[in-house]
Chains A and B, each alone.
Chain A
Amino acid sequence: MRLHQPAFATIARRPYVANLWDVLTFGLLFAVLILLAHGGRETLAPLTSLDVSPVSLDPAMLPEYALRSTMRMLAAIVASIIFSLAYGALAAKSRRAEIVLIPLLDILQSVPVLGFLSFTVVAFMALFPGQVLGVELAAIFAIFTSQAWNMTFSFYQSLKTLPSDLDEASRSFRLSTWQRFWRLEVPFAMPGLVWNTMMSMSGGWFFVVASEAISVGNTTVALPGIGSYLALAIEKQSLAAVGWAVLAMLVVILLYDQLLFRPIVAWAEKFRVEQTAAATVPRSWFLDAVRRARLFRWCLSPFTAFLQGIPRTRLQLPAELPSGARAALSSAWADRAWLALVVAGAAYAVWLIVSFVMTGLPWSEWVRVFALGGLTLLRVTVLIALATLIWVPIGVWIGLRPQLAERVQPLAQFLAAFPANIVFPFAVVAIVKFDLNPDIWLSFLIILGTQWYILFNVIAGASAFPSDLKEAAATFRIRGWDWWRKVILPGIFPYYVTGAITASGGSWNASIVAEVATWGNTKLQAHGLGAYIAEATAAGDYPRIVLGIAAMSLFVVMLNRLLWRPLYALAASRLRLD
């Protein structure tokens, strides 16, 4: 008999000698812990402390503000993940929950997040009267609502497409529901979830900036953060301070990317179901460092052992319903009763909204709102078309040059994550200075942050274009317009549609911030639904806010149903290259 030496034992037998990686990871870990403690203490302060130490334009304060903004972001993303797991699992596992939750999610996805802010601030401040925590939670909630929906959809979709053999294996080995969740469902959903979390985060910075300095009616609160710093800079008309804010944001996003997302993407690689090793594996220096830091891993081992124990426990609910009750619950009559309940609930909700809006608003207001919606729709459409005309050729050009694409791609993703509202003041100053028409020139702000989604998706598409097709096109000497029309455009179409959907959704949201812009006492306003909502929010006019949000949601839903979904279906069925 041969002595058995499993591979895992060899790691354990090494002496616990600290190495360079340990120093690095320990340093980073403790720095983060200290910062978290510091930031956490601040959030528990009473609301009046905000007046005692108001936001200042001193650049030295920016690191602290950046930390506070970052923590809000982190809190929101944790909340989004927990929400996604719970909501997605419920929707995927209960047929009855599914018929309510999934359409609801679809609508929530289309509701302009910034419109929510006025309601949530009031609600959370009422929950924690006189405490900073209430306003903090309102801001976090705003960020959460910008992130959670697509993550939830991704998780739900993964649960619905579990590979049947893994499903059968986990059933035949009789894993408990809890074990199945952690051993099969979450790991399988991981790649999609990580990708969507990244997309959410890059959209989220925009809302961090927009939600920190909130004024609803006569309530104005400025939470310490980059967003408030920016708002103050605008008020004080300080271009230098705006520049500092831009710099701080750049650093924060860079750190987030390097210390959080790269490691996670590299780690999540193992959850991909393809049974062959991928050609290019995402890497992260930070993850490598953590993996090499022996002492650090040893110190963390009780913690990791605990984490690994979670999926091991069976944790089964022992109490089963009596079979009579179960049969009654799963009968067709119970289905009908549930359906009736859902319909009644929905009817009540519609009645509630209509009566709320009707009390204060004449019919002419409805007509006006929809006309304004048409204007914003026009703006979004024209700008997406413009961005397409500009970025598709550029993206193709870059994507076909692998070495260039490798360098430009991270930059494009970075630009997509960068909150465009930070650079709005520069544009506003220019518009004021040259006395330009705000109806036209403010429009460009809508697309400023979202155009990058088109660019990096097109680059990805062109990079993934099969080289044999490229070579075939070259040998048959297909050139010029023919090449675009028959070769590359169909090839990148699925990628383009993905990018354009994200860009379009983001643009609607951005219109609330972009159609009204201020610089000191100067106020620029374009005509549109976004400006309408922004104005109503500033005035605390709730019926108008509700009407505006409802109208915008309707526009977004219609645009999705009538334009993007069919295009997406076309891309998925006809133009896929795999």
Chain B
Amino acid sequence: MPMLETTDLGERVASAPLVEIAGVRQVYHKGDNADLVVLDDVSLTIQQGEIVGLLGRSGSGKSTLLRIIAGLLQPTSGRVQWRGTPISGPCEGIAMVFQSFALFPWLTVLGNVELGLEALGIPASECRRRAIEAIDLIGLDGFESAYPKELSGGMRQRVGFARALVVHPRLMLMDEPFSALDVLTAETLRTDLIDLWSEGRLPIESILMVTHNIEEAVLLCDRILIFSSNPGRVASEVKVEIPHPRSRTDPVFRKLVDDIYGLMTQRPTTERVEKRTGGVVLGSGIGMALPRISTNRLSGLMEALASPPYDGSADLPDLAATLQMEVDDLFPIAEALQLLRFAEVAEGDVKLTPYGRRYVESSLDARKRLFADHLLAFVPLAGLIRRVLDERPSHRAPFRRFSEELEDHMSEERAEETMRAVISWGRYAELFGYDENTNELNLDNPA
């Protein structure tokens, strides 16, 4: 395979950081009074020659930060500099790889790779030469004239990499580049990427990647910034000093993964809970935002926890691996259980409470009763809905009655999601019903 012309190595020595971000804040104005703070006071620098990972759960604003650096979004406030000059739009020297690949289905592999070069106004013959080089480098030779829909997911993402590399960017941004791929394909791509990187064959100086996969971050990155959610901010920074190629079974590697799990499940202090209204399950009173998680998943996780080998308590990374789930899927379920006092989450562990154990051991009807009791006791919104329905002579109340009240505390979308969540839980608990045609909550029980 040919070598790509890399930018002069002497330049890498120059000490000015590629990206410098200070005090960046991103707020979405939703409705009248509820501002959604996505990023709060984020600062970071990216030096030449490093791979930096932004690790966090969905909603922690890490993708938003990536888009701010890409120049696709303007931050509400704060300083964002690219090689010493403020960023005001997509700038030269930055290229991006997308989670969904973002390939143009009407262009061939070659056409997609040439796209970025065309935008630079490079003549057609030069475009072709460089595109073919990049296609070779990334292992796509033979596929030049194929259309994206003919390719497998892994091959598509290779086109995504080739398209970003061909413009010889100084910084390559990657937005969860492997999360839409199956496990095996993702691993191959990661290995190929890190091999090319450590052999110095990538025409880039640094990589910034967003991920929610802890192992992936430890496998690839030199430095990991862990984001906390609602609002997103950098909670901690972890340096990975294991030389490439790294092995997942290496005890040092395992230890680091466990530590990061611990950091990500740290119990927030009470003072911060109060501040975090609008959080995923944190938040208080009526303003508590609920995740839309089916009761089947709640039951399923409790049952998995109750049965051997866990017998009521599990290490989250271990559980995630056994259930073949990503952190992003597992955390909200565990937290919903915590909210309902069926489980406790702390320091990377999840533990079933006596209630949780009783739930698992009960019959269907007893489960429903227990769930209803906990729902009324620990989810104020469910209590409010039930009270209002009981008080009204018709025993009906419009959806808007509650969603509007929620919108005083959170964005419109989140209010909608919270309502859907509470309706689904309320239906399961047989606390109240909902008529989709009239948009009314009611006490009708079709049984």
The interface of chain A, by Cβ under 8 A from chain B, is 1-2, 4, 6-8, 163, 165-166, 168-176, 179, 183-184, 187, 190, 270-277, 309, 311-312, 314
Q: Which 5 A-B pairs have the closest CB atoms?
A: A165-B102, A7-B145, A169-B102, A173-B116, A187-B106
- A-B contacts counted at CB < 8 A amount to 93
The interface of chain B, by Cβ under 8 A from chain A, is 1-2, 67, 70-72, 90, 92, 94-96, 98-102, 104-107, 110, 115-116, 118-121, 124, 132, 136, 141-142, 144-145, 147-150, 156, 163, 167
Contact of B141 among A4, A165, A272, A311 (CB under 8 A): A4
State whether A172 and B149 are in contact (beta carbons under 8 Å apart), knowing that A166-B102, A183-B107, A271-B105 are contacts in the complex: no
Which of chain B's residues have a CB closer than 8 A to the CB of A190?
106
Bound: A174/B164 CA distance, A: 12
Q: How far is the CB of B431 from chain A (nearest CB, A)?
A: 26
Bound: A548/B167 CA distance, A: 61
Which of chain B's residues have a CB closer than 8 A to the CB of A270?
105-106, 147
Q: How far is the CB of A293 from chain B (nearest CB, A)?
A: 19
A169 close to B98 (CB less than 8 A):
yes
Bound: A276/B99 CA distance, A: 17
Q: How far is the CB of B446 from chain A (nearest CB, A)?
A: 18
B72 close to A168 (CB less than 8 A):
yes
B144 close to A7 (CB less than 8 A):
yes
B119 close to A179 (CB less than 8 A):
yes
B96 close to A274 (CB less than 8 A):
no
Which of A163, A172, A273, A314 counts the most B-chain CB atoms under 10 A from its CB? A172
Which of chain A's residues have a CB closer than 8 A to the CB of B124?
309, 312
Q: How far is the CB of A550 from chain B (nearest CB, A)?
A: 38
Which of B2, B101, B105, B156 counts the most A-chain CB atoms under 10 A from its CB? B105
The chain B residue sitting closest to A173, CB to CB, is B116
Which of A6, A163, A273 counts the most B-chain CB atoms under 10 A from its CB? A6
Bound: A173/B113 CA distance, A: 11
The chain B residue sitting closest to A308, CB to CB, is B124
Contact of B67 among A2, A168, A187 (CB under 8 A): A168
A272 close to B105 (CB less than 8 A):
yes
Bound: A311/B127 CA distance, A: 14
B104 close to A6 (CB less than 8 A):
no
Q: How far is the CB of A480 from chain B (nearest CB, A)?
A: 26
State whether A276 and B144 are in contact (beta carbons under 8 Å apart), knowing that A168-B67, A183-B104, A184-B104 are contacts in the complex: no
Q: How far is the CB of B236 from chain A (nearest CB, A)?
A: 29
A168 close to B149 (CB less than 8 A):
no
Q: How far is the CB of A312 from chain B (nearest CB, A)?
A: 5
Which of chain B's residues have a CB closer than 8 A to the CB of A4?
132, 136, 141
A1 close to B1 (CB less than 8 A):
yes
Contact of B149 among A2, A184, A275 (CB under 8 A): A275
What would 14 more interface pairs be, CB under 8 Å, given A163-B102, A168-B70?
A7-B144, A165-B102, A166-B102, A168-B98, A169-B96, A173-B90, A176-B119, A187-B104, A272-B105, A275-B148, A275-B149, A275-B156, A277-B150, A314-B121
Which of chain B's residues have a CB closer than 8 A to the CB of A276?
149
Which of A7, A274, A277 counts the most B-chain CB atoms under 10 A from its CB? A7
Bound: A184/B111 CA distance, A: 12
The chain A residue sitting closest to B101, CB to CB, is A165
Bound: A176/B120 CA distance, A: 9
Bound: A309/B127 CA distance, A: 13
Bound: A270/B102 CA distance, A: 16
Bound: A393/B105 CA distance, A: 39
Which of chain A's residues have a CB closer than 8 A to the CB of B102?
163, 165-166, 168-169
Bound: A163/B121 CA distance, A: 25
B104 close to A8 (CB less than 8 A):
no
B90 close to A174 (CB less than 8 A):
yes
Q: How far is the CB of B74 from chain A (nearest CB, A)?
A: 13
Bound: A165/B70 CA distance, A: 13
Contact of A171 among B72, B141, B148 (CB under 8 A): B72
Q: How far is the CB of A14 from chain B (nearest CB, A)?
A: 15
A271 close to B106 (CB less than 8 A):
yes
The 30 listed contacts between A and B (C-beta, < 8 Å) are A1-B2, A2-B141, A4-B132, A6-B132, A6-B141, A6-B145, A7-B142, A7-B144, A8-B144, A165-B100, A168-B72, A169-B96, A169-B98, A169-B104, A170-B115, A172-B94, A173-B90, A173-B116, A179-B118, A179-B119, A183-B115, A183-B118, A271-B105, A274-B105, A274-B149, A277-B150, A309-B124, A311-B118, A312-B124, A314-B119
Q: How far is the CB of A3 from chain B (nearest CB, A)?
A: 10
Bound: A433/B274 CA distance, A: 88
Which of B1, B104, B120, B144 counts the most A-chain CB atoms under 10 A from its CB? B104
